[in-house]
Structure 1
């Protein structure tokens, strides 16, 4: 901007010149009045005090936005410790409002009687433990066996921020519904018929037009974040994940600034916060909650009162699905967390092992119900 004034000062004396810096993080235009008496005066002297204050306020606002992101990153990745009494009091209060789904199992079953249970499961932190390397987030053989039995009893879907193909490689169960990239890439169970028309079919991909844009940002982020040890940028096809689980907290501000800088040229992409991950997604109105509704409609339960959806997840992105169930007044959400969190879920489980125990009990209950019906 300075060079513009120095090169053009002689030609713009006495005029109001609109200068737009397209590369500016603030992405704004400022009007600068150049003095006719001194056309070659220093540019800094020609910017009004009001404009300088405006610039300063925008800089503060931009910095505050980055700081807000970092605060959000800390909130999802707690490193500060509380006193034992404070943690205990918070936990007790939270458990009163979000009791264990295992302890409340009988009440849950009573609420579902006469209705079709449909299961929705997040992957990371729900079916598999959270690990430092996201490429090694494998589910156990026991969990896979449990989910396979679950799918034989109830329609079952995996709803994940991961790329659909990657989740499928982890789960390896063809009989499930898969909603990858936060529901932006949905497909139904693979058909086992030998007919040529019964191959794999994609149900829904509402963000296909964003693929080139997402690839561009992915390449840019891979390059710009090389300077920060521990960062892993994951291309989930219809969205991007910037994992900072292995990044020193002192580097979080720098990482947030780099991600923000990469997105400033892409207003059609938005940033959301996950569990030690920054998620970059298209701005279309689609999330895990919308994916849940789409899958219920695909299963024929769009306006049914006799359906009982159960959604189990551990992340902030799962809150969209929890809220949908609460607003519908059907089924419920289960948050997987060892610590109190603000949530729209009705119940809680502490870890994937408890998730597996809950799913096993559902399977056992269903099998016993079928046996009882066969005797009648």
Structure 2
């Protein structure tokens, strides 16, 4: 990797947390209730072997449903006895705000190139029931535009890259969609650095398979009210935010039955969503590394 002077959040801790807490709350729409924070890490992977063990015998599906329930940000775990204040304090300890150490950050950034990485859902936009309506406010858009004026800025999301761009509508940014599997930089006309048009798609061979799985899941989940299947180009998302909890086990079984026919795909779970992704060693963290290396080739320090 090119030797670079950059200041970025630790990708393993979740790039969305640091940036989201540093932006004013007023930039979010006031009519949308703020969700409870998700568990650290955002996503976790269930390997095919572990998933099979979960579903081989009766009652194993319920343990999977329990994990869905526990990772849902709009619920409080039934086993906890913490008060609201204690929960908030615990959250702050595990996810400290950059504002509380802003002077140290400024001091540490002297002589270094700052690069901004932002998530989209829950960071630039509120979490909403309908993923197609996760719009960012004009104030938030202007804030991102201002940041991009001074620092190279990238949006890294699990969403389809084109979908994220349709929400953000800022041409001078770098966009990494599908959990970093679809990366594109600004065109030469919109890029103020030496080069433009960074493009990288490490899972391009999976596109036909993803399209096929998407169509199969659309059919399999028709009978489950509230389930929404989203084609994010290099991964398929099954949203269960609007699905009644009593139907979660059925939804899991439907998704699992599809996954069994595609050994080159894996199942992950996020905030009110199940996702099917290619089994390649690539994620948002790898996307950040790729972008930093690409930026290092042509940023003038």
What TM-score range do you get, normalising by the shorter chain?
0.7 to 0.9
Aligned to 1:300: 296
TM-superposed CA distance for 1:99, in Å, is 2.2
CA contact (8 A) 1:119 1:155 kept: yes
1:224 aligns with 2:212: no
2:157 to 144, 148, 160: 160
* Larger Rg belongs to: 1
Q: Which has the higher contact order (CA 8 A, sep 6+)?
A: 2
State the match for 1:66 in structure 2. Answer: 61
Q: Which residue of 1 aligns with 2:38?
A: none
Cα distance, 1:243 vs. partner?
0.6
Instruction: Extract unaligned runs of 5+ from structure 2.
Output: 1-47
Aligned residues: CA RMSD = 2.8
Please state whether the residue corresponding to 2:93 is helix, strand or coil. Answer: helix
1:234 aligns with 230
TM-aligned CA deviation for residue 200 of structure 1: 8.3
Match of 1:111? 108
What is the deviation of 1:264? 0.2
Give the Å deviation of 1:190. Answer: 2.0
Change in 2 beyond 3 A, CA 1:59/1:88: closer
Count of residues paired in the alignment: 244
In the superposition, relative to structure 1, how do residues 85 and 244 fare at CA in structure 2: closer, same or farther (>3 Å)? closer
TM norm structure 1: 0.60
Alignment partners' CA distance in 2, 1:187 and 1:65: 41
SS in structure 1 at match of 2:98: coil
Could you say if the C-alpha distance between residues 219 and 92 of structure 1 is closer, same or farther in structure 2, counting changes exceeding 3 Å? same
Q: Is the 8 A contact 2:214 2:229 kept in 1?
A: yes
Structure-2 residue corresponding to 1:284: 280
Q: Output one character per residue of 1:53-110: Cα deviation in whole Å (capped at 9) or x when no partner.
A: xxxx968645565334322211221534667754433432442343222233222222
Q: CA separation in 2, counterparts of 1:134 and 1:226?
A: 18
Pairs within 5 Å for 1:119-158: 119-158=116-155
Q: What does 1:186-265 correspond to in 2, within 5 Å?
A: 186-192=183-189, 201=197, 203-265=199-261
